Structure 1
Amino acid sequence: MLHQKFFNRFVIRQIIWAFVITYLLFSLYLVIFKEYNFLILVLPGILFGLAFVDAFQTKHTIRKNYPIIGRLRYMLESIRPEMRQYFFEGELDGKPFNRRERSIVYQRAKNEKQTISFGMQDDPNRLGYEWAAHSIYPKEVSDFNFRTTIGNDQCKQPYSASIYNISAMSYGALSKKAIISLNKGAQLGGFAHNTGEGGLSPYHRSGGDLIWQIGTGYFGCRDEQGFFNDQLFAERSQYPEVKMIELKLSQGAKPGHGGLLPAEKNTVEVSKIRNVKPHTTVHSPSFHSAFGNATELAYFIKRLRDLSGGKPIGFKICIGKKSEFEDIVKAFKETGICPDFITIDGAEGGTGAAPLEFIDYMGMALSDALVFANKILKEYGLRDQVKIIAAGKVISAFDLAKAMALGADACYSARGMMFALGCIQALQCDSGHCPVGIATQDPLLYEGMDITDKSVRVATFHKNTMKAFGEFIGACGFSKPTEITPDVFHKRIEHGKNINFKEMYFSQS
């Protein structure tokens, strides 16, 4: 069998060479004796060159064994995601978001038909299927401007936030036109836009409310050594559009992982926004230098609140070790310093590029993390002082209601808002070659974005999602988000058996 395989490979390679050389000689003959133009030699010359390179290169065995045609393998592999998405993917296939989920965002962003015909396509009998119990006494919800006030007794400038806002995405990761469109959409729709940890760019300051996120690199409020700078923070936190400050401890895409800004991406513009030296490689460590334990974190939160003039201060975390989160809450209780909000990022959150081990195997899922955080805050008597914001694959009314049933007061969405901008889930976010101009700094790609159109789509998606949320909770018998209870949501855990979220998550609380 091995001899046969070798013989087949040998024969195929010789056939390829014979074809290429014959084609080249025949073309040369036509040029010499038939007076054809030398341009006729271009194609056979290219084929001969490719065959020669493939035969003598050492990096790819397939190309060496099968010159020219071996390249088809890499070409087909490169378009595999597009082939699957356009020709073979079903309505409930596709990761991290299936086609039906993406389609509902597109429809709501464009204000198109949002109904589906001919029944459900999901299987209600499959294990893991989740559903909500409706009421025969539904409530009519007429006001879809659902908001929650963030800011406890220690806050001087509380903020009335929408329950659905734009999650953290930095300028640099996203193009300037994408950032402007998101922010103008937030302004039109009356919701907030999280800056991401890349700093307060001028593109973020396009009229919408901002949540300024500060990560381990302290971009926009750091000194020359990379440490937190009180003066810069005090100055920029006073911008009127900055409504809240979020300290990022970790994120769902890469909890416990730092970041790197390559020198080639650190342009003069980016360096001014991030307050770093241009054209240098800048590291974001995996830990904060401003604090090293829970008590120091509490005092740093107080420091931020004082410097900002009393604006709401919170932190973002993807929960890992439960004991560490409990230690943080315990420190808040002991010091008397309480954040105004905590953002719980589920491990399924994912706009940030990261190694596979961090994306797939690190961090607690959003549902479990919400229940745990809610439980610990209640045990220490701080739940009334701290609002919880949920982040991680929240794009539909069901996702919103489910998060609130498990303890959230408000939600973020990153990828949902990217879909509203026109994201096609090409999975090229970290390549710089985003085909729709969102996650790229290539002017040839992002110049095609129309800011006026895209900002309206973002606002329209938010508006229609809030309307869908109102209709959804109304059908369940609730008139406002704070009334939602976990017993309304169910999950199939085995064949013939469902369990509601109250039994699943709170029976032992």
Structure 2
Amino acid sequence: MKVRSGFILLSVLTIILTAGVCLIWKPVLWSLVVTAPIILIGFYDLTQKRQTILRNFPVLGHFRYLLESIRPEIMQYFVETDTQGRPINRMFRSLIYQRAKDVTDTVPFGTQMDVYRSGYEWMDHSMYAIDKKIIDTKPRVLVGGKHCRQPYSASLMNVSAMSYGSLSKNAVLALNKGAKMGDFAQNTGEGSISPFHLEPNGDLIWQIGTGYFGCRTKEGTFCPDSFAEKANLDSVKMIEIKISQGAKPGHGGILPAAKNTKEIAEIRNITPHTDVHSPPSHSAFSNPEELIEFISLLRERSNGKPIGFKLCVGKQQEFIEICKAMIKTGVTPDFITVDGGEGGTGAAPVEFSNSLGMPLRDGLAFVYDTLVGYGLKDEIKLMASGKIFTGFHIARALALGADMVSCARAMMMAIGCIQALECNTNSCPVGVATQNKSLMSGLDVNDKSFRVANFHRKTLKSFTELIAAAGVDSPEKLERKHVNRRIGMNVIKKYDEIFPYTKANSLL
């Protein structure tokens, strides 16, 4: 990288120039009092592995950490705001970093939020709280319906879909190695299975997108034979059909030419160094019955592994028609991932990210209630995806009907993402979302994999402590009545009032 190589070159030139000049004018030796410590600090930055910013930007990177260290005192002068000018709390970002680094994650001075603002949410605790020691801190969920021959025991929290190509090689390696250490799964994203997903041997959820990368013909249509080859890899535990994603539903994706290296092109079976677009919809199916047939085909060619699909809820009637097709054919997916319109880690058009797609809580409640109303929920597990950061976010999703969750943004932060907003420029300064070899080399896989495992472990631990305080001894027993939301200054409603339950089989 230019900064790294520039520092080394400048250091060498400074030493040579100082040595040469001091032969003529000895007082120049005093300049070493200033330059020598800077040079030594820079070379230490280059060799340490815990902080990517310092590896990629020796010496200069310390200014960022200096500002970060005094941030609590100057926060009132640097308040982040949303599009409507309202302050955004930074607590979640700091919490992720703390848990990933396995340092103290408690906070002083009480609640960090305005508890009287509309939208504030909380859980009811119990006078008869349960001893947290009796609750499993590593809860699992068995995924696999009546047609599944290879059910998978999944962790309650997993890594959401992020492709190799969007992410760097080192980022994928760190996430998968962390997943292996923590015994949870990594979703490959629609960019197919790369060697870096397989090297650490962590569990995979293989996502099949509209571009059918990794299982496509030369024309870009689905290829059953190449699918079967990858689907039967030992690392692949579940297979997910991506219908839509929260960041840009109905838009499709793009891999910029700058990121489309020869290696990525071979993995995806595409032409290198070109912009690659994923279509907005699938060519393998165009109606609910064809989707069900596609699910059956994937289940057959994968020898009975769990098959599901991911969607951001749009037109509700379209999902209802899928449920009707399940009843008509007797075939159901093993899981459904509900992505929120507020989710997404990559670049997307502003209109799509802000104004298209149902938010997670609304979409999740709708999907759960519809499945229950049609008598289908017992066969199908629900996964929630969309800004899942904390134990409370997990509890809230489960209360609405999810069986498990996945997160992308938080996992990116665990491996060092600082939200530099350079995801679409190939110049991510911490080597997470780039194919620039110099930048990605600053991301140390071993150190960051421990951080991924730490974040997963400590977040699930906080979740189990939270439900224990609420008097709930199992994740399956969380209900909507456990979560409160402030609607106005004097109006508070429980989730079962905001999202009333649908009676089982009532829609039949």
TM-score by length of 2: 0.81
Report the equivalent of 1:114. 105
1:334 aligns with 2:325: no
How far is the alpha carbon of 1:93 from its aligned partner? Answer: 4.2
SS at 1:389 equivalent: strand
CA distance in structure 2 between the partners assigned to 1:134 and 1:450 by the alignment: 41
CA distance in structure 1 between the partners assigned to 2:153 and 2:479 by the alignment: 23
2:246 to 252, 257, 276: 252
Report the equivalent of 2:222. 228
SS at 1:452 equivalent: helix
Q: Deviations over 1:173-232 (max 9, x none)?
A: 011000000000000000000000001011111211000001000000001000100110
- Measured at CA, do residues 265 and 435 of structure 1 come closer, stay the same or move farther in structure 2, by a change above 3 Å? closer
How far is the alpha carbon of 1:497 from its aligned partner? Answer: 1.7
CA distance in structure 1 between the partners assigned to 2:222 and 2:330 by the alignment: 23
Report the equivalent of 2:456. 462
Query: How many residues were matched structurally?
Result: 428
CA distance in structure 1 between the partners assigned to 2:340 and 2:276 by the alignment: 27
Contact 1:91 1:100 in 2 (8 A): no
CA distance in structure 1 between the partners assigned to 2:452 and 2:123 by the alignment: 27
1:203 aligns with 2:196: yes
1:136 aligns with 2:130: no
Name the aligned partner's letter for residue 342 of structure 2: E
Contact 1:139 1:475 in 2 (8 A): yes
1:477 to 471, 478, 483: 471
How far is the alpha carbon of 1:265 from its aligned partner? Answer: 3.4
Report the equivalent of 1:376. 370
Contact 1:92 1:100 in 2 (8 A): no
SS at 1:219 equivalent: coil
1:177 aligns with 2:177: no
Contact 1:92 1:99 in 2 (8 A): no
Contact 1:404 1:481 in 2 (8 A): yes
TM-score by length of 1: 0.81
2:184 to 172, 181, 191: 191
Flag structure 1 segments of 5+ consecutive residues without an equivalent: 1-78
Instruction: List 4+ stretches of structure 1 deviating above 2 A.
Output: 85-98, 259-267, 277-283
- Measured at CA, do residues 406 and 278 of structure 1 come closer, stay the same or move farther in structure 2, by a change above 3 Å? same
2:347 to 350, 353, 377: 353
Larger Rg belongs to: 1
Contact 1:90 1:99 in 2 (8 A): no
How far is the alpha carbon of 1:508 from its aligned partner? Answer: 6.9
SS at 1:246 equivalent: strand
Contact 1:150 1:159 in 2 (8 A): yes
How far is the alpha carbon of 1:260 from its aligned partner? Answer: 2.8
Q: Deviations over 1:251-277 (max 9, x none)?
A: 000000012334443322111110123
- In the TM superposition, what are the counterparts of 1:68-107 in structure 2 within 5 Å? 88=75, 93=80, 98-107=89-98
- Measured at CA, do residues 430 and 144 of structure 1 come closer, stay the same or move farther in structure 2, by a change above 3 Å? same
How far is the alpha carbon of 1:417 from its aligned partner? Answer: 0.4
Report the equivalent of 1:291. 285
CA distance in structure 1 between the partners assigned to 2:501 and 2:236 by the alignment: 40
Contact 2:165 2:260 in 1 (8 A): no
SS at 2:379 equivalent: coil
Report the equivalent of 2:14. none
Report the equivalent of 1:386. 380
Name the aligned partner's letter for residue 101 of structure 1: F
Contact 1:195 1:210 in 2 (8 A): yes
CA distance in structure 2 between the partners assigned to 1:160 and 1:90 by the alignment: 48
Q: Deviations over 1:272-319 (max 9, x none)?
A: 110123344432110100001000000000000000010000000000
Contact 2:259 2:426 in 1 (8 A): no
1:316 aligns with 2:310: yes
Name the aligned partner's letter for residue 430 of structure 2: V
SS at 2:498 equivalent: helix
SS at 2:196 equivalent: coil
